[in-house]
Chains A and B, each alone.
Chain A
Amino acid sequence: MVFMSKRMIACDEASFLISYRSDHRLGLLRWWQLNFHLFTCHLCRKYAHQIGELNHSMEVYKEECSHESCAHHLSPAAGNRIGEAFKQELNAK
């Protein structure tokens, strides 16, 4: 792979590895490449921190939105339309 042939990586590859390591263990070479890059790049250090927070925030989202609607509600018109269609089907059974 082109990626594997380079010793030093840039921010695009580093950010990919930051995302990838959310779900996988990095191999030794990639671990070194990423951590060397993080040592030298303050933007990617911030990015790594924020991706960790993003991953954690999804847990917050699931907790807040698992029991009720988070942002969207059926309009009264849509609710009536769906209710009527459903009632017709229910009465037909």
Chain B
Amino acid sequence: MLEPQHWVERYGDYLFNFAMVRVNDREKAEDLVQETFLAGLKGKDRFMGKSSERTWLTSILKRKVIDIYRKQYSSKESSLDAYERDVSDGDFYRSEDPFRGHWLDGKGPNSYSLLPEGEMEQKELARFIQLCVEGLPTQLAAAFIMKMIDEEDSDKICKELGITPSNLWVMLHRARLRMRDCLEKKWLK
């Protein structure tokens, strides 16, 4: 049974954090949380009780976030054959001979390991991961979050964002490049 009178205090923080990771904008995230609660209230008769209140509200918020992603993707070029054209990412690799395609100085990995030791540091790692995800360019963040955090099927991601599978794999590659770089810098600082 739904208890809307307790939603804000029970789920406000959680939904806000959920939205912040995905849109990286406080005002937008606050608006999304408010819209989610209002949509939940309007649609409470459709709640079947198959999931928890929080899961149900989160699914409403997820749909709103995907609408934002779709608007951003539809306004940018998305039809390029990314795999063939953009395998090389200029921020990380040399673009000129004789070592074209090799790591730029300071851009490759410095250490062998990213993972922390000890349980205490897992929370810290999670916090750093969240901060690095929020630092991703929006288009890369959308693909990365939907695949790696929301664990959506690749076909569904492509359909929701209006991109090709090639676009998706390049975006995930670029997101991982940046995530690794960010985590190594933050974590080992």
| Residues on A facing B (Cβ under 8 Å) | 1-3, 9-13, 15-16, 19-20, 22-23, 43, 46-47, 49-51, 53-58, 60-65, 68-74, 78-79, 81-83, 85-86, 89-90, 93
Contact = CB atoms under 8 A, between A and B. Distances in A.
Given A3-B87, A72-B17, A60 B176 contact: no
B79 interface: no
A69 B101 contact: no
A1 B87 CA distance: 11
Given A57-B183, A68-B14, A93-B41, 15 more contacts: A2-B84, A10-B100, A10-B102, A11-B93, A12-B87, A12-B88, A12-B92, A12-B102, A13-B87, A51-B180, A61-B130, A68-B13, A82-B34, A82-B37, A89-B41
A17 B124 CA distance: 29
Contacts of A89: 38, 41
A60 B122 contact: yes
B16 A73 contact: yes
**Secondary structure class of chain A's binding surface, majority of residues:** helix
29 contacts: A1-B84, A3-B83, A11-B103, A12-B92, A15-B177, A16-B87, A23-B154, A23-B169, A23-B172, A43-B108, A46-B108, A50-B109, A51-B180, A54-B114, A55-B148, A57-B114, A57-B125, A60-B125, A60-B129, A61-B129, A64-B126, A70-B127, A70-B130, A78-B30, A82-B30, A86-B41, A90-B4, A90-B5, A93-B41
Nearest to B54: A67
Given A10-B102, A11-B102, A53 B108 contact: no
B123 interface: yes
B113 to A, nearest CB: 6
Question: A-B pairs with the 4 shortest C-beta distances?
Answer: A10-B101, A64-B126, A69-B17, A46-B109
Interface residues on B, range: 35 or more
Nearest to B147: A23
B148 to A, nearest CB: 5
A66 B156 CA distance: 22
A44 to B, nearest CB: 8
B61 to A, nearest CB: 13
